[in-house]
Each structure stands twice: as C-alpha cells, then as structure tokens.
C-alpha cells in the first residue's frame, strides 16, 4: 500500500510539457513555472532587408538613409547596463525594415578604465567592415577588454591583424571617441546607455517593450506628417525641435545629426543602397 502511495505522488509531480523539475524532496519534484520573456533580450530576427553602413567615416549603423526614425545609441563597452541592450540595438531596425535606422555612437566613460580602448577597437573593426561583430564580442567579454584581449577578438572575427593594430594606434580614432562622448554630454546624454529617438533623449534602460513602443509612437507621428505632405527632411527637423529637451539641445542635435547627415551621409547612401 505504501509503495502505491509513493508511486502516486511521483506521478502527480511529473513536469508538464515544457516545464522542468527544479528540485526534489523524498522523490517528489518541484515544478518550475514557464520562463517569462526576458524584457531586455528580444529574439533577434533577420528580414534580409536591413543594410549595414559601409562608410567607416560615419557612425556604424543598421538601416537605410534616410529613414523615418533615427535611433542614436550612446554606449560604453564596459557599462553593464549597456550590455543588456545589445539585442535591442540589433532588433529595433528589424521591427520596421526600411523605416528605422539605428546608429551607434561612442560614450566611453572615464570611470571605466578599458572603455576608451574598447571603443577605439570597435572603430578599428568598423574600418574593416566588422563593427557589429566586434560590438557583440566586446559586450560579451566586458571583464576582458585589455589590449591583448582586444587583439584576440580582432583575430576571432577575421580582421587583418596588422591593419587592426595600425588603426588601433591611430590618434584620429581616439580623438573621434572623445568627440562623440563630448557631444553626448552636450546633448544631455551624460550617462549610458542613452538613446535619441528623432531627437528625444532617454538616459538609461527600461525594457525592450518600452523602447519598442517609443519607436513605434515616433514612427506613427512621422507617418502622420508625411501623410499631410511634409517632406521627410522637414519632418526630421520638426520632430527634433518638438522632442529636444531645450533649444540648446535642439541646436546641438541639428548641427551634429541633421545637418551633418545632409552634408556627409549622401556619399555613402549610394553604396549602402547598392
């Protein structure tokens, strides 16, 4: 009789399909609840329609130019919270292929001893067309961002190592990292990660769903203006003026993003569209 009771308890404690036992006590399994979706880690998908930027003089980017919504990500490779948004950075242009562009800009905080070197290494990889591969490796190995490790990662993603070493030592790249960080501060993005969605600043990270919803809202606002006959170039300035935290931030954004894109990105737009 006792044997039958034990069998009955064991049978009742079997995991339902998709569930795993997480412990046991006298032959009884405790059933783990189904795993909740990770709010930081959207599933990466590939539409085959999201192009990568190919001009290393411009910020690394995913998505077309021009795009209805420009998402600028200011990030630090040694920042733990920044590492949590890597999948979101990749995925947001895939949610609306052809309509959203994400640009990665450097904000290597001085409190992180290896952040600047990692930023320079990512831009050296950008010169060989492999920024995003390096981006993922650096965030996956935040505890090992010393120069020797950076060279190891360059080899792992198939970079020309002598060229990588030359570029890593190029003072122009180090100056670029500092300039991008200074612009982030000017725009009010004093912490990392920070996001500018057509000029609207958000410092810190909430969740993938919240981030996606903000981009979706901005896309709807842009589409409404376009439906009224407003040209896309005018839409970008209108939205940035409305969304910037103050007049000074708008002027800084206009000069550094809207005007510079109009002047400089055209030279790479043809290559990216081909």
**pLDDT for residue 8:** 42
**Which residues have C-beta within 8 Å of that of residue 126, sequence separation ≥ 6?**
56, 60, 134
| Residue 36 phi, psi (nearest 5) | -80, 150
pTM: 0.82
Assign residue 204 a region: left if phi > 0, alpha if psi is -120 to 50, beta otherwise?
left
The token pair that represents 200 in the structure block: 């609207």
**pLDDT for residue 37:** 58
Per the listing, tokens 């939205």 go with 239
**Which residues have C-beta within 8 Å of that of residue 13, sequence separation ≥ 6?**
21, 28, 29, 30, 31
Regions of the chain short of the pLDDT cut 70: 1-39, 262-274
The token pair that represents 191 in the structure block: 């912490």
**pLDDT for residue 20:** 35
**pLDDT for residue 260:** 80
**pLDDT for residue 227:** 98
In this structure, which long-range contacts are made by residues 230-236, counting pairs with CB atoms below 8 Å and at least 24 apart in sequence?
A: 232/66, 232/68, 233/66, 233/262, 235/68, 236/66, 236/70, 236/198
Calpha distance 125→102 (Å, rounded): 18
**pLDDT for residue 59:** 95
Strand, helix or coil at 272?
helix
Strand, helix or coil at 220?
helix
Nearest of 17, 15, 49, 19 to residue 29 by alpha carbon: 15
**pLDDT for residue 158:** 98
CATH topology of domain 61-273: Glutaredoxin (3.40.30)
């Amino acid at each position: 009789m006792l044997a039958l009771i034990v069998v009955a308890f064991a049978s009742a404690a079997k995991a339902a399909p998709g569930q795993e036992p997480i412990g046991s006590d006298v032959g009884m399994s405790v059933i783990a609840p189904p795993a909740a979706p990770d709010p930081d880690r959207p599933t990466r998908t590939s539409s085959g329609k999201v192009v990568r930027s190919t001009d290393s003089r411009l910020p690394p980017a995913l998505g077309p130019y021009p795009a209805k919504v420009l998402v600028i990500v200011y990030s630090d490779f040694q920042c733990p919270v920044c590492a949590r948004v890597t999948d979101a950075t990749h995925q947001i242009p895939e949610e609306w292929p052809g309509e959203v562009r994400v640009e990665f800009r450097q904000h290597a905080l001085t409190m992180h001893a290896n952040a600047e070197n990692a930023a320079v290494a990512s831009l050296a990889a950008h010169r060989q067309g492999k920024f995003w591969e390096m981006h993922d490796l650096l965030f996956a190995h935040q505890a090992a961002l010393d120069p020797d490790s950076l060279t190891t990662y360059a080899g792992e993603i198939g970079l020309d190592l002598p060229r990588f070493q030359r570029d890593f030592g190029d003072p122009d790249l180090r100056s670029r990292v500092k300039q991008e960080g200074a612009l982030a501060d000017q725009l009010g993005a004093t912490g990392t990660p920070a996001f500018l969605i057509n000029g609207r600043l958000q410092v810190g990270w909430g969740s993938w769903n919240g981030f996606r919803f903000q981009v979706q809202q901005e896309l709807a606002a842009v589409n409404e203006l376009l439906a009224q006959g407003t040209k896309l170039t005018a839409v970008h300035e209108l939205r940035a003026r409305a969304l910037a935290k103050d007049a000074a931030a708008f002027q800084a954004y206009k000069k550094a993003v809207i005007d510079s894109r109009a002047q400089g990105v055209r030279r790479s737009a043809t290559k990216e569209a081909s």
